[in-house]
Chain A
Amino acid sequence: MSKKLISIFLFLLLIFSGIDSMAKQRFPKPEFEKKYTVPDTQIPASRALWLEYFDVFMLVICLSVVTWFVLKKRSRLGVLSVSVFSIIYFGFYRKGCVCAVGSMQNITLGLFNTEYHIPLTVIAFFIIPLLFTLFFGRTFCAGVCPLGAIQDIVALRSISLKKWVQAMLGLIPFVYLGLAILYAATSTDFVICRYDPFIGIYRLNASFLMFSIGAILLLMGIFIARPYCRFLCPYGVLLNWVSRISKKHLTITPAECIDCRLCEDSCPFGAIQIPTPEKIRENRFITVKRLMFFCIVIPLLIFLGGWTGSRFYENLSMVNLKVRLANELLMSKNEANESQSIEITTFKSQGKPEEKLYSEASVIVKQFYSGGWILGGFIGLVFGLTLAQLTFVHYQKGYTPNKGTCLSCGRCMDYCPVKKGEK
């Protein structure tokens, strides 16, 4: 019965297009006797295009200025002032969109979906901070990212966390990154944008959920500095990796470190690496044994993670609108007509064939299945590597910031008594 109606509707669509050509939709204007001009329908223009390119220009300028402050001038005050400027310009004026953090999803969508046209400004917002980080360290995080800057401002009473707590929490950005890429690649949703905690503050307008997330993170940020940056930001994962091989990086001391230990507790983010005393050199044999242990454990973790991830592929895929609609349609076959949701009634009245929806939905669900494996495996790998990193001891001389997690804020530089040019 429903099949017949569907074919009737398809047929009606044909008639509809036919009727257009029959000029039955021609509506003559009423003939007015008095002098009357029909008003024009106004179409207001959106923000000018050159202003979007100007944003990219401002991005480059701010990055250059903050990098200069961090590497050459070594001024915490300079970095702070750039942060404030970023909050005003990229935050309140541009309302936090488009930002580098979200641009990663657009890039993913562009790579997986050939029909998606990505604007040049978004590509620029993705690549430029990464390039700067590649050469100068995470100066983007220091003073340019509006999400980071607003958290940086409230980090007033920072308490340092234990190393293992920090490492475990540091896994969450990987999960977020994986989920964001998975959902962007399947054209489902832009997760990062949807749950951006601070955009509600910048728009001065937010739903209750968004406002609560933002407020909680800022409140927490007073004591545990930059929680979003360290434990949630998915772009931070990429910046972390890139920063590890950066050419130049922030150094605590302008010359050689004298081990005065004044900077030890100065980092609110726990990114300063303490020099290891000579006597804790490990037996080589034990190191090799530990390496072998991890060579077995890590692949196991990858497989375990992948398998777990694939178990959840149905739940993950339900976020996709097509899958959800297909599911509802299947379930509604048993229900009465009145209780159908508006999605079902609209879909039925549009006259699209049900089989097409089902086939599209099953393709997407298969994508989620393989995506689930990859995501789970990735998390497993990261978990294993984090564990490995915790057990290994870094051998180093002098106090240096961890090139990956240091956000180049420059607070530590003020603590160092060494003057430039000294030996």
Chain B
Amino acid sequence: MNTTLRAGVVIGLCGVGTLLAKRTLNGKTVWQLDPSKCVQCGRCATSCVLTSSAVKCVHVYEICGYCDLCGGYLKPEVKDLNTAAENQLCPTSAIRRKFVEEPFFQYDIDEKLCIGCGKCVKGCGAFGNGSLQLQVRHNICVNCNQCSIAINCPADAFRRVPENNSNLLKGFTK
């Protein structure tokens, strides 16, 4: 009797396995954030299971305007246009500003300092071209079965994407 049960279990497991394997994608999927839905609520910085969130601000240089008065870099009420810490929007001072030529400046993000709060994203989107966007960085993300930021996102902006096309950046051409 046991043998028949055993055979039944084996068949059942293999059946379930093949049924689900048919629907599998090639390769694996990873979590990603859709910047067009993001509302910069700040929960990416606090909800990740890792202390330093896997969501970071990414700069799409292709659509940056290289402006002097950068909406994502400077606080709105600055008196002098310089890189002093009290003028910077970023709470961890993770944006570096480099002079290119008059009047263009290049803005880079130091990912080690970025906490993924989205403040610069909001500023850039409101007053600039929207070239600063939040994205999940897959060299940090541990790819949890259930992303704890995804369930806290008010805009439902997280979804799974295939690993070989894992960014949802707007304006970015590979």
Contacts and interface: CB of A to CB of B under 8 A. Distances in A.
Partners in one complex: yes
A36 B100 contact: yes
B81 interface: no
Contact of A205 (B24, B50, B137): B50
A277 interface: no
Contacts of B49: 203, 205-207
Contacts of A135: 6
A86 interface: no
A123 interface: yes
B126 interface: no
B102 to A, nearest CB: 9
Nearest to B14: A127
Interface stretch (A71-79, A112-120, A387-395): A112-120
Given A111-B16, A193-B144, A350-B37, A46 B21 contact: no
A105 B9 contact: no
B21 A120 contact: yes
B154 A27 contact: no
Given A27-B65, A44-B139, A342-B41, A189 B25 contact: no
A98 to B, nearest CB: 6
Contacts of A207: 49
A206 B131 CA distance: 33
B60 interface: yes
B142 interface: yes
B5 to A, nearest CB: 5
Please report whether the interface of chain B is mostly helix, strand, loop or mixed according to DSSP: loop
Given A107-B20, A118-B20, A194 B62 contact: no
A105 B146 CA distance: 10
A46 B29 contact: no
B28 interface: yes
Nearest to B50: A205
B145 A123 contact: no
B166 interface: yes
A53 to B, nearest CB: 10
Given A41-B59, A49-B28, A134-B10, A346 B100 contact: no
Interface in A118-133: 118-121, 123, 126-127, 130-131
Given A47-B143, A123-B20, A41 B166 contact: no
A45 B63 contact: no
A27 B131 CA distance: 10
A135 B5 CA distance: 12
A40 interface: yes
A105 B62 CA distance: 41
Contacts of A27: 62-63, 65, 129, 131, 171
Interface in A381-415: none
A130 B145 contact: no
A314 interface: no
A178 to B, nearest CB: 18
A56 to B, nearest CB: 12
A341 B19 CA distance: 42
Contacts of A190: 145-146
Interface residues of A, number: 62
Nearest to A16: B36
Given A27-B63, A205-B50, A245-B2, A119 B24 contact: yes
Contacts of A38: 61-62
Interface in B127-153: 129, 131, 137-139, 141-146, 148, 151
Contacts of B166: 43, 46
B145 A245 contact: no
B30 interface: yes
A97 B17 contact: no
B38 to A, nearest CB: 10
A44 B137 contact: yes
A44 B19 CA distance: 33
A194 B16 contact: no
Contact of B24 (A95, A120, A206): A120
Given A39-B61, A97-B145, A121 B10 contact: no
Interface string A38-77: 1111011111010010000000000000000000000000
A189 B24 contact: no
The 10 closest A-B pairs by CB, nearest first: A46-B138, A190-B146, A44-B139, A343-B154, A27-B63, A117-B25, A346-B154, A110-B20, A193-B145, A245-B5
24 contacts: A27-B129, A27-B171, A29-B62, A40-B61, A41-B169, A46-B139, A49-B28, A97-B143, A97-B145, A106-B145, A111-B16, A117-B23, A117-B29, A121-B28, A127-B13, A127-B16, A130-B9, A193-B145, A203-B50, A205-B50, A207-B49, A245-B2, A342-B154, A350-B37
